Amino acid sequence: MSRTSDNEVRNAKGEWSPGNPCTYAPLFAWPPQPAKLFKWLFGYPGYLWPYTMIHILLATVIWIWLQPALATCATLEPGWISLMLLRNAILMWIIYGGHHLVLYTLKLHGTKQKYRLEWQETNSKKFMFGNQVYDNIFRSFVLGCPIWTAYEVLYMWALANGRLPVLAATRHPVWFVAMFLLIPLWREAHFYVIHRLIHWRPLFRTVHRIHHFNYNPGPWAGMAMHWVELLLYFSVVLIHWVVPAHPLHFFFNIQLTALTPAYGHHGFEGPLFEGQFPTGSYFHYLHHRYVSCNFGESTVPLDKWFGRFYDGNGDYKT
C-alpha cells in the first residue's frame, strides 16, 4: 500500500477503492427497512434525485420541443430521421464529452477517487487508431448513436401509423406516474439478462470482448460496443411495443439507456468535487476489473441472488 499526493491509500498496482464496499439499495431488503427506503427514494442522491428526475425532464423536453411532429414520422424520410440523429449526437457529446472534458482533458478532479492511477491508453493495438479514447468515440458515434436513433425512428414510425399500444395520461394517471418508477427497474433486469447472455463464451469472444478492452474505462467506454451488443442493449425499449405506454415513457427509457453509461464508466468514485456531483459506479467498475462478477446494477440484487456479487472487500474469488 502507498499514499498519493491526495493522501489516498492505493495498492501496489495503484488501485484505489472506497472505504466502504459497494452495497445494494434497500428496495429488496428483508426484513424491510422503511427509513432507509424512504431516504433512498427521496433523498439526494437517491432513486429520484437527481438522475431519474433529470431524465424525465429531458424526455419531456425532447418530446415537446425536439421531436419532429408525429404526422411527419408516418413516412420514413431522410429529413426528420437526420434531425433525430443530430439531436442524439449532440446529447451524446454533451453527456459523454462533458464527463471526458472535466475528468480527463482538464483533469479538474486530478486522480482523487480514481480507481486506477493511469489514464486512457494512447498506444495499444487492441484499440482502433491505437488510442482508447479515439476508438471509444468512434464506436459511440458510428455505431452507438445510429442504433440508438434507429430504435427511436422505428418507434415514432410505428406510433404515427397506429401500430403501438398507447397509455393516455389523463385516463390512467396512477399508471402513468408508476411507469416512470418502474422503467429503471425493468432496465436493470433487462441489462442483467442481456449481459449474462453476451458473457457466454462464444458471444464474449466475438462480441462483448470489445467492450472489455476497456479494463480501465473512461466516459466514452460506456457506449463502445460491438454492433450486435448495441442491438441487444437497446432492445430494452421493445417492451413499449407490448405494454401500453406514453411516448414520454419511451423517451425516458431510451435516454436512460443511451446516456447513463457515461456515469458508470468514467472511472471515478462519486460523488465528486467535494460531494457536489453524484456520479460514478464502483459496482460496475468491479465488473470491468474482474469480468466475472457484478453483471447487473446496484438496485435489483440479481447478482446476489445468482451468486455473482462482489462488494470489493477482500480478495476476489471467481
Question: In this structure, is residue 315 part of a structural domain?
Answer: no
Angle at 118 between CA 12 and CA 285, to 5 degrees: 85
Q: Mention every residue, 6+ apart, whose C-beta is less than 8 A from residue 76.
A: 153, 157
Cis-peptide, bond into residue 21, ω within 30° of zero: no
Helix (H, G, I), strand (E, B) or coil at 3: strand
**Relative orientation angle of helices 247-259 and 78-92, to the nearest 10 degrees:** 50
Cell of 30: 428483508
Cα 150 to Cα 158: distance, rounded to the nearest angstrom: 12
Beta strands in the chain (DSSP E): 2-3, 9-10
Cell of 173: 394517471
7 pLDDT more than 80: no
Give the model confidence (pLDDT) of 191-216 as tens digits: 999 999 999 999 999 999 999 999 99
Question: In this structure, is residue 52 part of a structural domain?
Answer: yes
- For 154, the domain range is 2-305
The pLDDT of residue 273 is 87
Question: In this structure, is residue 312 part of a structural domain?
Answer: no
4 pLDDT more than 70: no
Question: In this structure, is residue 163 part of a structural domain?
Answer: yes
Give the model confidence (pLDDT) of 251-279 as tens digits: 999 999 999 999 999 999 988 888 888 89
Question: In this structure, is residue 44 part of a structural domain?
Answer: yes
Question: In this structure, is residue 310 part of a structural domain?
Answer: no
Task: Please compute the mean of the pLDDT values over residues 285-299 and round it to a whole number.
Answer: 97
The pLDDT of residue 186 is 98
The pLDDT of residue 3 is 52
Percent of the chain at pLDDT exceeding 90: 89
Run of H or E including 40: helix 34-42
41 pLDDT more than 80: yes
Cell of 205: 469472444
Q: Mention every residue, 6+ apart, whose C-beta is less than 8 A from residue 78.
A: none
186 residue type, one letter: W
Query: In angstroms, how far apart are the furthest CA atoms of the chain?
Result: 63
pTM value?
0.96
Cell of 276: 457536489
Question: In this structure, is residue 120 part of a structural domain?
Answer: yes
Question: In this structure, is residue 152 part of a structural domain?
Answer: yes
**Which residues, in sequence order, are bridge partners of residue 114?**
268
Residue 51 burial (CB count, 10 A): 18
| Stretch among 9-23, 25-39, 181-195, 214-228 having the lowest mean pLDDT | 9-23
Give the model confidence (pLDDT) of 108-123 as tens digits: 999 999 999 999 999 9
29 pLDDT more than 90: yes
Residue 17 DSSP symbol: -
Look-up: residue for cell 480507481?
A: 115
Q: Mention every residue, 6+ apart, whose C-beta is less than 8 A from residue 240.
A: 155, 164, 249, 250, 253
Say how many domains are in the chain.
1
Give the model confidence (pLDDT) of 81-137 as tens digits: 999 999 999 999 999 999 999 999 999 999 999 999 999 999 999 999 999 999 999
